[in-house]
Amino acid sequence: MAYVDNEELNDIRSKANIVDIISSYGIEVIKKGKDYVCVCPFHNDHSPSMSISVSRQIYKCFACGEGGNVFTFVQNYEKVSFVEAVKIVAEKIDYHLKNDISVQRVDKHKKEHDILNLATMFFQNNLNTSSGIEAKKYLKDRKIDEKIINDFQIGLALDGKDDLFKLLHSKGYSADLLESLGLVTIVNDQVYDFFKGRVVFPILDIEGNVVGFSARIYRGEKDTSKYVNTKETLIFTKGNNLFNYYKARGPSKKEKQIIIVEGQMDAIRVYSSGLENVVALGGTALTQNQINLIKRLNVKVILCLDGDSAGEKATLVNGDLLTKNDINVQVVRLSDYKDPDEYIINKGIDAFKDNISNAIDYIDFKIKAQKKEININNTEELATYINKIIVDVSNIKDPILKEVTLNKISTEYNISLDILKNKLDSLNKEEKIAKEIFVSDKKEVKKLNGIDIAIRKILFYMMNDIKYIKLYQNKIGFFEDKLYRDIANEIVYYSEKNQTINVADFISYIQTNEKLGKVVFEIIDANDSELNELEFINYIKVLNQKSSELRIKKIKEQIKLELDIDKKKKLLEEIAVIKQGSVKND
């Protein structure tokens, strides 16, 4: 696959003026001093809350917290992937990419991905041996043909206690490493394959890497779980993935909608029948990370979960979650068969497509579902029910759909439309006040101690000039706080790989790590001064002094609790050594 290397990525970023790119979306930017401000497009902003730094080529909203460089702006504004944002920026500045775009990223987990790829190939091979005859028949009976097997890399975990382990161990991978990836378990120094006697489905991340597996029984075993899944590992977090998302992204954007089903077999069936814009939950409720993946696509969602009562409850839960995230949701409820897999096998793909084409708006589904739970002849229950509906209507963004829904309620229950609208207006006012309080709360910055401030200053300097990275390596070496240590390590790694560093380019690199990226933005946001080497040395002195004070404080607390006189003397000597070191550093 072609790619954009870091040099070209940085070249595009340096040639793309962030003010011009933001202006290209019809957003008015206003010069303020040496920089610019504008109304933030990422929240309901009425006065310029977003600051755009020309010198650093970054933006920051002081109300909602959004920030980044030119690529992250386009990514968030157009709700596209980072890769697509790079391509869009390149097109806007008439930059001719060397290749079809796909950004080259150093695979920090190459070893882990290599292991899981080997495991996938092993499972696939097992299915095509004499040991896989029964599993192949099971798949055939479920209308899973060779094309589907190959498309989804379906395989078979053998019945032996350590067949996979023996293969991977022979390649030089330790049992501990394999256990950390969820492939084996270790009991009393004995190693056992985690997946045994099951049909195996690889789970891909958003980049198409195998990060885990879901394995299903196929011989009708009783007293055992139907599915077992990879535990959470260094590279796999269940709530960060949606089954088939990697394959479904393109088709979903093309169709302007994505179908969400419940199980993996449902997604495989729908996808293989020609509707490729489908993903599977793999659980009960969507996580915020999964919702963010869907929001990236900027498409309508069609919820088509299981036909039983549990599926109806799951539809309500996920419909609410999606609606609250400003996503347009529709619902399909299949009759006669429990899930899309069974429905398509028995009634055909055309019947399923008809259901998709006639999906109902989520609000209509929810009104009908809630109505089943009340006694409409009970005045109090009916009033509670209608009040709940109005709350749901307040979350509808489409004004026409909002009006139509209110009219339906008014007609069906013979309630004045004016009363319903007045109730809705009062709810909207309450919501506005709540949002103002929320934004105000977000502005409250956690109070940092002296060590935090010194470290953040040092990290800011390091993000701007290799000279300060060298000084950090020579005079500090590492930070005790893991979060700051990880950021420093990323800065060092980036500078050594690229032989240069600046804030805007480093943002492109760190943006894939949400936790570190958040702190990096905080550091950049809090610092706008010119770099000064003497000032940097002073920050190091402050850090050493504050660290010494903290260590001395902890030792003094130990002394208070210590009863042994000799140990107390040693602790006092330790304090003296720390103080002596502090004097030398000064």
SS3 308: coil
Tokens describing residue 240: 């960060």
CB 14 within 8 A of CB 115: no
β-strand 257-261 against 58-61: which pairing, if any? unpaired
What is the four-CA torsion angle of 163, 168, 174, 176, rounded to 10 degrees? -60
Q: What's the rounded Cα separation, in Å, for the pair 241 and 512?
A: 15
Q: CA–CA distance from 220 to each of 125, 134, 181 (Å)? A: 23, 12, 28
> 372-395 b/e with 16+ CB inside 10 Å = b?
eeeeeeeeeebeebbeebbebbbb
pTM of the full predicted structure? 0.61
> 41-77 b/e with 16+ CB inside 10 Å = b?
bbeebeebbbbbbeebbbbbbbbbbbbbbbbbbbbbb
User: Could you read off the pLDDT of 38-84 as tens digits, one per residue?
Assistant: 989 888 777 788 989 888 898 988 888 788 899 999 888 887 778 78
Q: What's the rounded Cα separation, in Å, for the pair 266 and 278?
A: 9
Q: What's the rounded Cα separation, in Å, for the pair 322 and 104?
A: 32
Tokens describing residue 267: 């997604």
What does DSSP assign to residue 231? P
Residue with the two structure tokens 């790119």: 21
- Give the DSSP letter string of 2-50: --B-HHHHHHHHHHS-HHHHHHTTT--EEEETTEEEE--TTTT-SS--E
Residues 6+ apart with CB under 8 A from 399: none
Q: Is 267 buried (19+), middle (13-18) or exposed (0-12) by CB count in 10 A?
A: buried
Q: What is the pLDDT along the chain (586 residues), one digit of tens a residue?
A: 345 677 788 888 889 999 989 887 778 888 888 889 998 988 877 778 898 988 889 898 888 878 889 999 988 888 777 878 888 888 888 788 876 655 444 567 889 999 999 999 999 999 999 999 999 999 999 999 999 999 999 999 999 999 999 999 999 999 999 999 999 999 999 999 999 999 999 999 887 899 999 999 999 887 778 889 999 898 898 888 899 999 998 899 889 999 999 989 999 999 999 999 999 997 778 988 788 788 868 799 999 999 888 899 999 999 999 988 888 999 999 988 889 999 999 999 999 999 999 999 999 899 888 888 788 778 888 888 888 888 888 877 778 888 888 888 888 888 888 888 888 887 776 555 554 444 444 444 456 777 888 899 999 999 989 999 999 888 887 788 889 999 999 999 889 888 888 888 888 788 778 788 888 888 887 776 678 888 888 888 888 777 777 778 888 888 887 777 888 788 787 777 766 655 444 5
CB 263 within 8 A of CB 308: no
Mean pLDDT across the chain, nearest whole number? 85
Fill in the amino acid letter for 333. R
Residue with the two structure tokens 């696509």: 297
Q: Is 147 buried (19+), middle (13-18) or exposed (0-12) by CB count in 10 A?
A: exposed
Q: What's the rounded Cα separation, in Å, for the pair 390 and 231?
A: 41
Q: CA–CA distance from 525 to each of 39, 439, 457 (Å)? A: 18, 17, 11
3-state SS of the chain: helix, strand, coil percent to 5? 55, 10, 30
β-strand 257-261 against 300-303: which pairing, if any? parallel
Q: What's the rounded Cα separation, in Å, for the pair 362 and 367?
A: 9
What does DSSP assign to residue 132? G
Q: CA–CA distance from 213 to each of 150, 232, 245, 264, 277 (Å)? A: 16, 11, 15, 11, 21
